[in-house]
Structure 1
């Protein structure tokens, strides 16, 4: 009896019953889910190495932490705005039907307020820890993803991923500007690498969810042109991506670490894209678009590991 009374008092004093705490945890998890953490991870993979390249080696850890925090808040803001705007089609697709705005765990108004708070916070953080140019580029990235991609391109053209992918290229400009307070050819080349990589990365994924996109009336290439077109475009964009990555070698200039990374990973990336195309053309039942999707993430990670390590442990080619 005493134990029961004590437990009841503890609940009364804390003001939170186990059920209320569980509800709070679910709410927090729902808000985090809206930010699409896995996409943010990929964006940060390109930001930090670019900062090492801009600095020519090591730089202030506080700047790194501040820019990564600001970049995380910026990307989170863009992703929450995206979920808010796409909530009508998210409920139609298997891949997105469990998002918090579809299930009702977060209301549209709550998500919109959350997105604005994240966007404003990211701008303030990047302005204070880096410089105004970095903050402006961050705002531009949010607008590109929310307005240019989500509101204008996504539901109108099968080239949505190509041009909408510009938003995903912005972290390299943000990283470079945060260190140098300027832009130059090096970050623009890295921008081009990500721009060309994006279709080869995302279109294979769209094959897996082609039925979803068709149901939601989203004109992804896998819907409008089919798997064969996706396979062909993956080959073309893989080649273009690798060629663009090689341009950084004479411009930066880069040494052996970066060169080995981009050549080795590039050959692998191109080979897998060709493998997908051959499997689709021959219709031998071995086409695995998701293999290219996952490999493309590994490819970009290896390239940017090279970007980050090369200026720290520089071994010149000549």
Structure 2
């Protein structure tokens, strides 16, 4: 059973020099890299030619910095909860390797630098939308929704679904229906992705008194919800092809990837083993990553009937 980090442990940790790796960990680099992949695909799909250098370099850097800033704020706000959960008990702020004030200063520097890059070198729309995404995740979701409702990840998932739109607006300076369709894909993918992890970590969330769906409604209901959202995701992923946004390579790739996700969701619901929830969670990460890679390939190598 995970226990909160003691004051003595914090003092021992703070007596050690802070490593750059601790700050790097605060940014949730794996999450940010996945978000940046979806932003890059949004940029590429927004144009038939090469992505402009300012959008590619300053846009990716600015979006990445603001996403990292949101991640750092999440570490700060959740550090007491994190200390009660096995998955997060060794995070830098929890262990006292980085103090709350140091982390907040780091978040501020990242946020201001990222916003400035987007405002001065990309466009104001992208800067404001990316800032709104930061506020949505770090403030609305982390500070309020996460502690208030079991539908927290559904409502708060919109902030994490924004990067494809941010990439699109970085190139075009305008919001387009196709960009919103990419947002809808990530938005629909988020609940089954996160609820699979929440099932695996149900006891941790219960101990920390966080009202995740498996805690408030039980595992069976959550598994049904994972399956239902996965079926919905299959339908949503058909829309890029049905609207003429993508072509046959995307259609084939998305059907294969979604069939795999449905298979894992069915296993989780009807034939779960102790590691099925975690394996479903891991598959969902590869699913989204490969889905956007297929979108990118389809864009540059369109195959039609």
Superposed pair shares fold, TM > 0.5: yes
* Deviant stretches of 4+, over 3 Å: 23-26
Partner residue, 1:218: 210
> Could you tell which deviates more after superposition, 212-221 or 265-274?
265-274
**Is residue 243 of structure 1 aligned with residue 231 of structure 2?**
no
Q: Which residue of 1 aligns with 2:300?
A: 312
**Pair 1:76 & 2:68 matched:** yes
Q: C-alpha displacement at 1:248, in angstroms?
A: 1.1
User: Number of residue pairs matched?
Assistant: 291
TM-aligned CA deviation for residue 63 of structure 1? 2.6
Q: 1:107 aligns with which of 91, 99, 106?
A: 99
The 8 Å contact of residues 49 and 309 in structure 1, kept in 2 or not, is answered as no
**1:160 corresponds to which of 149, 152, 157:** 152
Question: Which position in structure 2 is the counterpart of 1:266?
Answer: 258
Q: Which runs of 5 or more structure 1 residues have no equivalent in the other structure?
A: 1-22
RMSD across aligned positions (CA): 1.7
CA-CA distance at 1:201 after TM superposition: 0.4
> Where does residue 288 of structure 1 map in the other structure?
276
CA distance in 2, matches of 1:255, 1:57: 18
Q: Measure how far apart 1:129 and its partner are.
A: 2.7
- Answer with 52-61 or 111-120: which moved more: 52-61
Q: Are the counterparts in 2 of residues 52 and 312 from structure 1 also a CA contact under 8 Å?
A: no
CA–CA separation in structure 2 for the residues paired with 1:120 and 1:275: 45
CA contact 1:77–1:115 (8 Å) conserved in 2:
yes
* Partner residue in 2 for 1:181: 173
Equivalent residue number for residue 41 of structure 1: 33
Contact 2:18–2:98, Cα closer than 8 Å, also in 1? no
Answering whether residue 287 of structure 2 is matched by residue 299 of structure 1, we say yes
1:56 deviation in Å? 2.6
Give a deviation string over 1:48-81, Cα, whole Å, max 9, x none.
1111111135323453122221111011100111
Matched, 1:60 2:52: yes
Deviation at 1:220, TM superposition (A): 0.7
2: CA distance between counterparts of 1:287 and 1:91? Answer: 23
TM-score between both structures, scaled by the size of structure 2 = 0.91
Shift of 1:25: 7.6
For residues 225-236 of structure 1, the aligned pairs below 5 Å read 225-236=217-228
Partner residue of 1:87?
Answer: 79
Q: Which runs of 5+ in 2 are unaligned?
A: 1-14
User: Are 1:148 and 2:140 matched, yes or no?
Assistant: yes
Q: How does 1:175-214 map to 2 (within 5 A)?
A: 175-214=167-206
Residues 178 and 245 in structure 2, CA contact (< 8 A), matched pair in contact too: no
Between the aligned partners of 1:168 and 1:28, the Cα distance in structure 2 is 25
